[in-house]
């Protein structure tokens, strides 16, 4: 089941040293409606490129900011986006590795190869945008909590008057972006914050001056054979950053494993998570307490005043799709969350129990990719069984090409076998919302989780309840 990172990203150029984006540089982005690729589009645009994008999935929650910026988008893939007269054709393509894994012979990629146009991961475009600004790069890594922590750090730096630039894998509130809700921020300060994802070497283009490692455990079974492979990947990337300051959450066992692999590395290590938090934390749950400890440590590394750290920890309300309240209708609370790993789901359920004690909890999960679901089926079943009611939507395939290894009904059966509630597998995300609308009762809390189209469940359920 394990594939090498190079195979996942076949057809893409290897990560290279970041270089400034040229004024007027023509750049085309495939999959531009995604959380990360949309940020790359916005940041390249603000860096002075002539950028456009395409995505056959159509508009998404991430594309409103692109439309507001007047960036041309097409809702189809077409070789004509690339095969153009020389003075019009893109000088490079940026693309998600998920697309190259599913379709390495994509017509736009084939056209780019034939014309000799470089094709790179969209993360390279983000790194190049940071090189254009000349800001200090701060990268937040870890298996869980990256988006919340990057958004929190943006909030902290904005409060401190530092005007940061940023890429975060979740929607930032317009109050933080200064425009529409988006996954990017462009500022004139001294810091550029990025979310650094370990999947298939996605973080390789980033060479930060400050690295934050929140946690580390096994995930992405299509890339990493086991937990040791994950630890090795984090250690190799941190080592490549040279003498960067490393802020490490040493309360996490996986982080300690990574540090053990870095015993000969030179560079400052700031140990977070060893002391009680000195301030009130506004976000619930143990995961956010750990994220907050990292924020305190990063803030001090970046010389942020303590009063700004105190205010941010107490007042930050999170980023999109991270325990996001979608509505409360007729006494039914509907929450939307990106959780798609057993540990993340367990911590999210714990946070919801803390926020809504004594209420009946529905855990509604759209599994993200068939390979992850099959590899971690029993772990998913164990944590989902701790809810009072469970519904499993159809699996979101994402980059998977083999959709036969498991299914939603198998996970639902595993939950029931664990002694939890009799779990249901209603079908599509739309069908799952319809199923819930006829069964939820006043006082219920519905926690919708997943990394694909699960947000449709939460939105549709709120609409149905309002009717």
Is 161 in the same domain as 304? yes
Q: How confident is the model at residue 448, as a pLDDT?
A: 98
Q: End-to-end CA distance of the chain, in Å?
A: 45
CATH number at residue 380: 3.90.190.20
| Residue in the block written with tokens 């469970």 | 390
- Mean pLDDT of the 247-271 span: 96
Q: How confident is the model at residue 100, as a pLDDT?
A: 74
Q: Is 141 left (phi over 0), alpha (psi -120 to 50) or beta?
A: beta
How confident is the model over 108-160, as pLDDT tens digits? 999 999 999 999 999 999 999 999 999 999 999 999 999 999 999 999 999 99
> By the 8 A CB rule, do 239 and 260 touch?
no
Q: How confident is the model at residue 1, as a pLDDT?
A: 33
How confident is the model over 206-227, as pLDDT tens digits? 999 999 999 999 999 989 999 9
Is 308 in the same domain as 355? no
Where among 75, 99, 125 does a domain terminate?
125
Binning the chain into helix, strand and coil, the percentages to the nearest 5 are: 40, 20, 40
| Residue in the block written with tokens 């989902």 | 384
Is 339 in the same domain as 211? no
How confident is the model over 75-100, as pLDDT tens digits? 999 999 999 999 999 999 999 887 77
Residue 214 lies in a domain: yes
Q: What is the mean pLDDT of the chain?
A: 94
Residue 165 lies in a domain: yes
CATH number at residue 10: 3.40.50.720
Residue 130 lies in a domain: no
> By the 8 A CB rule, do 213 and 234 touch?
yes
Residue 277 lies in a domain: yes
Instruction: Transcribe 72-126 into DSSP letters.
Output: -EESS--GGGTSS-TTTS-SEEEE-HHHHHH-TT-HHHHHHHHHT--EEEHHHHH
Q: How confident is the model at residue 7 (pLDDT cuts 50, 70, 90)?
A: low
Question: Which domain range does residue 408 map to?
Answer: 324-466
How many other C-beta atoms can be found within 10 angstroms of the C-beta atom of residue 108?
24
Q: Is pLDDT above 60 for 2?
A: no
Rounded distance, CA 444 to CA 79, Å?
Answer: 49
Is 266 in the same domain as 311? yes
How confident is the model over 365-384, as pLDDT tens digits? 999 999 999 999 999 999 99
Q: In what order do the strands lie in the sheet with 389-393?
A: 324-329, 332-337, 445-450, 361-366, 389-393, 424-427
CATH number at residue 199: 3.40.1190.10
> By the 8 A CB rule, do 352 and 335 touch?
yes
Is 245 in the same domain as 181? yes
Residue 232 lies in a domain: yes
Where among 105, 125, 145 does a domain terminate?
125
Nearest to 21 by CA among 58, 46, 54: 46
- Could you give the number of structural domains in the chain? 3
Is 335 in the same domain as 259? no
How confident is the model over 336-361, as pLDDT tens digits? 999 999 999 999 999 999 999 999 99
Is 112 in the same domain as 160? no
Is 207 in the same domain as 253? yes
Is 146 in the same domain as 208? yes
Is 347 in the same domain as 433? yes
Q: Is pLDDT above 70 for 59?
A: yes
Query: What percentage of the chain has pLDDT greater than the value 90?
Result: 89
Where among 125, 150, 166 does a domain terminate?
125
Instruction: Transcribe 179-223 into DSSP letters.
Output: SSSEEEE--SSSEEEEEE--GGGTTTT---SEEEE-------TTT
Q: Is pLDDT above 80 for 5?
A: no
Residue 57 lies in a domain: yes
Sort strands 332-337 and 445-450 into parallel, antiparallel or unpaired: parallel
User: For 434-443, which contacts have Cβ atoms below 8 Å and span 24 or more sequence positions?
Assistant: 434/460, 434/464, 435/391, 436/362, 436/364, 436/391, 436/461, 437/461, 437/464, 437/465, 439/389, 440/332, 440/362, 440/465, 441/331, 441/332, 441/360, 442/330, 442/331, 442/332, 443/331, 443/332, 443/359, 443/360
Q: Is pLDDT above 80 for 9?
A: no
Alpha-carbon distances of 466 from 141, 260, 327, 386, 429, rounded to whole Å: 39, 53, 10, 28, 18
Is 299 in the same domain as 354? no
- Mean pLDDT of the 65-70 span: 96
- Mean pLDDT of the 46-61 span: 95
For 284-305, give one letter per residue: b (16+ CB within 10 A) or e.
bbebbbbbbbbbbbbbebbebe
Is 30 in the same domain as 178? no
How confident is the model over 319-339, as pLDDT tens digits? 988 889 999 999 999 999 999
Sort strands 324-329 and 332-337 into parallel, antiparallel or unpaired: antiparallel
Q: How confident is the model at residue 3 (pLDDT cuts 50, 70, 90)?
A: very low
Instruction: Please name the helix (run of DSSP H) or strand (run of DSSP E) that holds residue 427, with its range, or none.
Output: strand 424-427
Residue 88 lies in a domain: yes
Residue 370 lies in a domain: yes
Nearest to 373 by CA among 343, 414, 347, 406: 406
Q: What are phi and psi of 288, to 5 degrees?
A: -70, -25
> By the 8 A CB rule, do 9 and 198 touch?
no
| pTM: predicted TM-score of the whole model, two decimal places | 0.90
């Amino acid at each position: 089941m394990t594939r090498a990172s190079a195979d996942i990203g076949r057809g893409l150029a290897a990560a290279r040293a970041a270089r400034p984006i040229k004024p007027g540089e023509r750049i085309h982005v495939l999959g531009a409606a995604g959380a990360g690729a949309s940020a790359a589009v916005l940041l390249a645009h603000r860096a002075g490129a002539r950028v456009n994008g395409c995505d056959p999935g159509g508009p998404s929650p991430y594309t409103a900011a692109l439309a507001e910026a007047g960036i041309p988008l097409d809702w189809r893939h077409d070789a004509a986006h690339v095969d153009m007269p020389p003075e019009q054709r893109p000088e490079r393509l940026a693309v998600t590795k998920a697309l190259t894994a599913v379709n390495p012979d994509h017509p736009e990629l084939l056209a780019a190869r034939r014309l000799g146009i470089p094709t790179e991961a969209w993360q390279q475009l983000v790194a190049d945008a940071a090189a254009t600004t000349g800001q200090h790069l701060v990268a937040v890594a870890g298996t869980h909590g990256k988006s919340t922590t990057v958004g929190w750090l943006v909030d902290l730096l904005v409060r401190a008057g530092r005007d940061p630039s940023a890429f975060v894998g979740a929607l930032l509130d317009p109050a933080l972006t200064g425009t529409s809700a988006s996954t990017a921020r462009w500022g004139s300060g001294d810091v550029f914050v990025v979310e650094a994802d370990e999947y298939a070497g996605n973080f390789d283009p980033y060479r930060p001056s400050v690295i934050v490692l929140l946690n580390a455990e096994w995930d992405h079974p299509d890339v990493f054979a086991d937990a040791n492979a994950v630890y090795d990947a984090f250690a190799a990337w941190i080592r490549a950053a040279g003498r960067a300051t490393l802020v490490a959450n040493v309360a996490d066992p996986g982080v300690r494993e990574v540090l053990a692999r870095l015993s000969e590395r030179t560079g400052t290590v700031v140990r977070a998570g060893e002391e009680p938090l000195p301030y009130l934390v506004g976000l619930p749950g143990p995961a956010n307490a750990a994220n907050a400890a990292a924020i305190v440590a990063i803030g001090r590394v970046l010389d942020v005043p303590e009063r700004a750290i105190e205010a941010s920890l107490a007042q930050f309300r999170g980023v999109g799709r991270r325990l996001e309240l979608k509505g409360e209708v007729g006494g039914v609370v509907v929450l939307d969350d990106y959780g798609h790993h057993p540990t993340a789901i367990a911590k999210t359920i714990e946070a919801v129990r803390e926020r809504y004690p004594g209420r009946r909890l529905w855990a509604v999960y759209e599994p993200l990719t068939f390979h992850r679901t099959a590899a971690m089926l029993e772990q998913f079943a164990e944590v989902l069984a701790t809810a009072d009611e469970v519904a499993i939507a159809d699996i979101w395939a994402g980059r998977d090409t083999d959709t036969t290894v498991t299914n939603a009904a198998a996970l639902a059966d595993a939950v029931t076998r664990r002694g939890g509630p009799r779990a249901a597998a209603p079908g599509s995300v739309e069908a799952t919302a319809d199923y819930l609308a006829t069964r939820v009762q006043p006082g219920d809390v519905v926690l919708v989780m997943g990394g694909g189209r699960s947000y449709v469940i939460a939105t549709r359920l709120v609409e149905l309840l309002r009717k």
